[in-house]
Amino acid sequence: MGNGLSAIVSIGLTFLLSQVMTKVIWANKYPDGKRKQAWPTAPSQLPYFWNAFDAFHVSYCKSFTEWSQKIGTLFSVKIGQKRVIVLNEPKLVRQTFVEMDQYNSSRTLSDTVEVIMSDNGKTVFTAPFTLYWSRLRRGINKVIGKSQYHGWMDLFHRQAEKFVNGISLNDAKVVEADQLRQLVELIALHISLHIVVGEEVDPETMLTLTQKVQKAEVWQKESWHIYSRFFPVVRQLYVAFTALLGNRSITYLRNDILEIFLTVQKDEQKGIAAALADIAPSKNDPTPEQLTKDQILVNLVHLTVHSYKYLSAALFSALQRVATSADWQNKMLDKDPEQALRYAKAFINEVLRYDGPVKMFSHAARVDYELTVDDKAYRVDEDVELVANLDAIHFDERYYAEPHQFNPDRFLGTSYVSLLDEKVPTSKGLNARDHLAFGAGRRACQGSLVAEEMLAAILLKVVQTYQLKHQGIIRTQVMSGVWSWMGRMETKGNDIEFIKRP
């Protein structure tokens, strides 16, 4: 017995040692023995093991922007034990996410909440680039793609009417920031649910859903989950022992949210739910394998939560911003409806550039490869995330005139210059006329046009119904997250006075 146990222990130790040695010996080499290039330059004097964890936790994307100003627009950094490569200018985003999208179109799961809420990467936001992911994208595009988004305008106008009526029910002219945020969230959730499941959902169900999602986000902010984003061993331990946590486990909360979506769906499915239930063939997928009920359900949850959280954050920021600008409110009162809408869209786009809920987005490498920038090759390993830092890109004076000035005029005019166009900037005064708030490349947000139309329609209705005033915007932004280590940013806001127009 003793000899057998000794043999097992010896074999186990030998195996572990061989695995460790293999990782050490081959850590910087390709399978053929060729040595890998160096990583892009990294910030110096970071603490051992923790690396940039504290700096990122405190300053978020601002830490990336500060390092880019010191060491260049391309750099790598380890946050805890998670290495990322940070892209701080549009040409790098175009090169990696558009021109090299085949190399950089994967996703890595970030923390324990995302692992469990996405069913270990089964949603369109988390699934790797496979036929399964392509089928999800095709189904979603069928409902909110470029040729479909105009069909939702009636919904947006109805919800805009409900929104202004909700404000009028307030006894006082001044609506507190927290109360306004709740109203914004309910309208955004109502729209998201209608698009995703195609049904009117009762207020009580929506309130229950928001409470469940808020609980998931509170858990995501706990130390255990924060560490799991940047220290893989923590995530592995949590997933392994989650069954022992009882009702404290995120798994139980996930099941509660799934149950809500089971109850709101009808026998005759509509919206994105219907599109995912019947995936159409394509030239690259002539006989598609239809999605299972569980796969559809987890996608409906993620789509709804992702969209309503981002829409509500953007709309709330837009209301806070427009309350400080009587000039832009007057522009949106233009008697020509098309011109008024044009002003509203310009305002929304500047909000997304300046106060957008997305400050970063990332794609992960699908393979080990070398990234050549300015004739120099750098190492990129499989699953390493390349992060587009919009805090640097959206405030780069080479692309936006006076970038730290909130100015929707930059999105007006007849000429269109894309931020990802190689010709930008080509001459003094030629500025980008778009932003990257909806991402770039094959994983760019499919709902960008729907989102812009919805935000502009509600903003325009509010401004044409009320004059908005407050003493000054509170620009403090609070980081939150929809199951991702990059999270989102929300404007803290101020109380707003709504004065009914004659």
477, pLDDT greater than 90: no
Distance CA 35, CA 29 (A): 4
Q: Please, are residues 251 and 174 in contact by the beta-carbon 8 Å criterion?
A: no
Phi first, then psi: what are they for 467, rounded to 5°? -90, 130
pTM (predicted TM-score): 0.91
Distance CA 350, CA 409 (A): 8
Report the CATH number of the 32-500 domain: 1.10.630.10
Q: Please, are residues 100 and 77 in contact by the beta-carbon 8 Å criterion?
A: no
Q: Token digits for 33? A: 């023995």
Distance CA 348, CA 473 (A): 16
Amino acid at 445: C
pLDDT at site 247: 47
- pLDDT tens for 313-366 read 999 999 999 999 999 999 999 999 999 999 999 999 999 999 999 999 999 999
Edge-first strand order for the sheet with 82-87 is 74-79, 82-87, 385-389, 360-364
**Mean pLDDT across the chain:** 88
pLDDT, average across residues 115-132: 92
240, pLDDT greater than 90: no
pLDDT, average across residues 381-402: 94
- pLDDT tens for 9-34 read 566 566 555 555 555 566 788 887 88
Helices (H), 75-176: 90-93, 112-117, 131-144, 153-168
Distance CA 499, CA 173 (A): 7
Distance CA 123, CA 299 (A): 5
Amino acid at 415: S
- pLDDT tens for 41-98 read 999 999 999 999 999 999 999 999 999 999 999 999 999 999 999 999 999 999 999 9
| 3-state SS, one letter per residue, for 47-58 | CCCCECHHHHHH
Distance CA 439, CA 96 (A): 12
First to last CA, the chain: 93
Contacts of 305 (CB under 8 A, 6+ apart): 213, 482, 483
- pLDDT tens for 262-300 read 888 766 788 999 999 999 999 999 999 999 999 999 999
- pLDDT tens for 170-187 read 666 899 999 999 999 999
pLDDT at site 20: 53
4, pLDDT greater than 60: no
Better pLDDT: 168 or 134: 134
- Residue 274: Cβ within 10 Å count: 17
5, pLDDT greater than 60: no
Task: Show me where the domains of the chain are located.
Answer: 32-500
- Beta pairing partners, 361: 388
pLDDT, average across residues 359-375: 95
Distance CA 261, CA 325 (A): 40
Distance CA 140, CA 302 (A): 13
pLDDT at site 390: 97
